[in-house]
Amino acid sequence: MAPAAERLVWAVETLGVRAGDRVLEIGCGHGVAASLVCERLDGGSILGIDRSAKMIEAAGRRNAGHVATGRAAFQVAALHEADLDGVRFDLVFAIHVPVFLRGDPGRELAIVRAHLAPGGRFALPFQPLDPAATEPTVGRLAGVLEAGGFTVVERHLAELAGGRAGCVVARAG
């Protein structure tokens, strides 16, 4: 299996995953970040959701061992359609999911707030195509989260081989 891209390794490191965390990844794609999260879990679990059945199939294949042990599960669904079964997550993250950068993400932010455990974290790591957009995007995401009822607790910027990256971490306010 191909190694994870530097930006994904950095993003998962920035999340601060704890061993027992219940994690939700919005837009899990091929499941690469989920694999990295699973390496940090001991007693915790991750649910990856994505609107693409093809991506969920790939994520399931990539993480078959983690799925077999119950550490990982994957579901074809957009966030507003996902069967989250009343679970409250310690960490919710979305790596460069456009809904949080464009349009009105109010519905999605309300769903995340409703499914965060007390003290839970919501993280939005990203790597823009234009490195000059990194700092302004951190500011925009922080504003979107604050407008959605979150309190921003961390802002990260990084210089990676492939360009600049950023991440905003918030808690339900």
Q: How high is the pLDDT of residue 2? A: 66
**Domains (range + CATH), the chain:** 6-172 (3.40.50.150)
3-state helix, strand, coil in the chain (%, to 5): 40, 30, 30
Dihedral angle sign, alpha carbons of residues 136, 141, 144, 147: negative
Give the tens place of pLDDT for each residue, 136-155.
999 999 999 999 999 999 99
Q: In whole angstroms, give the CA distance from residue 133 to residue 130.
A: 6
pTM: 0.96
Give the tens place of pLDDT for each residue, 43-95.
999 999 999 999 999 999 999 999 999 999 999 999 999 999 899 999 999 99
